[in-house]
Amino acid sequence: QSVLTQPPSVSGAPGQRVTISCTGTSSNIGAGYDVQWYQQLPGTAPKLLIYGNRNRPSGVPDRFSGSKSATSASLAITGLQAEDEADYYCQSYDSSLSGYVFGAGTKVTVL
Amino acid sequence: QVHLQQWGAGLLKPAETLTLTCAVNGDSLSSYYWNWIRQPPGKGLEWIGDINRDGSTNYNPSLKSRVTISVDTSKTQFSLKLSSVTAADTAVYYCARSEGLRFFDWLYLWGQGSLVTVSS
């Protein structure tokens, strides 16, 4: 069982907005540690999508946005496109475990 | 442009030691932490541990007793050893570079991944 909790799947029609939640505890997100988001297409290495809760690396479309509040974080995808169909993972640091932790991943399906 | 290239044995028998190496091309290993992450087939990502150029390491407590991460600055490489492997260690293993403030950092640069299968 992952330390960070994500929904197994979300879906939406092209053009719609979807959100993925990432719920942690007082030893990770709630302790103030940043949340990162990664996108993983089938058969490829994860790609950094959001860092420091809400920052996008160069080249990541502004359709992707991140937010954080208390012990949870969210990734929003607006204007959903077929190419967004992938697995998405949140990641943070956990002070109780003294290590980095990931969510179990959320599969985004474009209907 | 910096990129990571990893290699190692892809098929192991139970109880053997997994060894993977990641070459850092275009960087001197400075100012970053260098990580190993794994992903069992059809499952999520698991952080294994990291190391800096001075050899300071940090391991996932669930794997700590079996993991050793080392660095060779002369070759700009870092390596992973996981001892006493079982079928549960079958996974794609990734090397990656951390960027940002320690404990608030992110994984921007990733290797291509190496599938390691443990089977008798």
Query: What chain A residue is nearest to B110 in terms of C-alpha separation?
Result: A45
Angle made by CA atoms A42, A5, A7, in degrees to the nearest 5: 55
Closest CA to B103 of A27, A38, A33: A33
Contacts of A98 in chain B (CB under 8 A): 58, 61
pLDDT computed for residue A21 by the predictor: 98
Closest CA to A100 of B25, B8, B98, B30: B98
Q: Which residues in chain B show pLDDT less than 70?
A: none
The residue assigned the tokens 């299968």 is B117
Q: For every one of its 111 residues, what pLDDT tens digit does chain A have, with 9 covering 90 and above?
A: 789 999 999 999 999 999 999 999 999 999 999 999 999 999 999 999 999 999 999 999 999 999 999 999 999 999 999 999 999 999 999 999 999 999 999 999 999
pLDDT computed for residue A76 by the predictor: 98
CB B99 within 8 A of CB B105: yes
pLDDT computed for residue A2 by the predictor: 86
Chain B segment 33-92 residues within 8 A of A by beta carbon are 35, 43-47, 49-50, 58-61
Test mutation, A9, A56, A100, chain B, max B CBs within 10 A = A100
